[in-house]
Amino acid sequence: MTWVPKSDQKLVQIVDAALAEAARTSGAWLVCKPGCTQCCVGPFAISQLDAARLYRGLEELERTDPKRAKDVRSRAQDSVSRLAKDFPGDPMTGILSDDEDAEARFEEFADAEVCPALDPRDGTCDLYSSRPMTCRTFGPPVRSGEEGGLGVCELCYHGASDEQIAACEMVPDPDDLESQVLKEMEKKTGKHGNTIVAFCLAKE
């Protein structure tokens, strides 16, 4: 079983509680629901902590629903085969490069690629309980950086004023516990650098 720091459970609880509060405050403005998959298209960077949590979820799915787990892995392997040629990083390890050129290439990389964790039959995530932090915070208003603006899903908050949107702001991890847990993860495993979901789930 893939090792994940115990403190990650606390981190997930904090972020999920923040999401629940943002959803309560937002009411009908937050239209996220099963089957809405716009945020599942296009790869995004995930940390080694996200990757470990996600892969552990796949291992658990292999025990409870081997067929579904096999489908997830197969979709991931198919995705990697499509993405490897132009991957802005090391296609052997799946680690993204962090230089400016690679980061610029990643901005427009594989925008139409569907996340392999998404079940194409019903539009739900097969690894929802193990999903990365980006997935856990997408939808409600979340600030980018200390002085950045509030970003929201373009399908949500139609008709809401800027003040109303700001009142629904989600603060996912106020004490930056994620950085501490990630450092623990990297120290224990020796793995560093960001990857994407497909490379994480494609490995045997």
For a pLDDT cut of 70, what percent of the chain falls above it?
99
* pLDDT tens string 130-173: 999 999 999 999 997 766 788 899 999 999 999 999 999 999 99
Could you tell me which residues come within 8 angstroms of residue 120 by beta carbon, excluding any fewer than 6 positions away? 114
- Give the type of residue at 163: E
CA proximity to 37, closest of 146, 124, 127:
124
Is residue 37 situated within a structural domain?
yes
CB atoms under 10 Å from CB of 47, counted, come to 22
| Domain count within the chain | 1
Is residue 204 situated within a structural domain?
no
Is residue 2 situated within a structural domain?
no
The parent domain of residue 154 ranges over 7-199
Is residue 67 situated within a structural domain?
yes
Is residue 27 situated within a structural domain?
yes
User: What per-residue confidence (pLDDT) applies to 204?
Assistant: 83
Is residue 103 situated within a structural domain?
yes
> What global pTM score does this model have?
0.95
Is residue 114 situated within a structural domain?
yes
Spatial distance between the Cα atoms of 152 and 139, rounded to a whole number of angstroms: 5
Is residue 1 situated within a structural domain?
no
Spatial distance between the Cα atoms of 40 and 143, rounded to a whole number of angstroms: 20
Would you say how long the chain is, in residues?
Answer: 204
Average pLDDT, the chain: 96
User: What per-residue confidence (pLDDT) applies to 145?
Assistant: 72
Residue ranges of alpha helices (H) inside 27-98 are 48-64, 66-83
Return the bridge partners of 90, or none.
95
- Give Dmax (Cα) for the chain: 48
* pLDDT tens string 100-115: 999 999 999 999 999 9
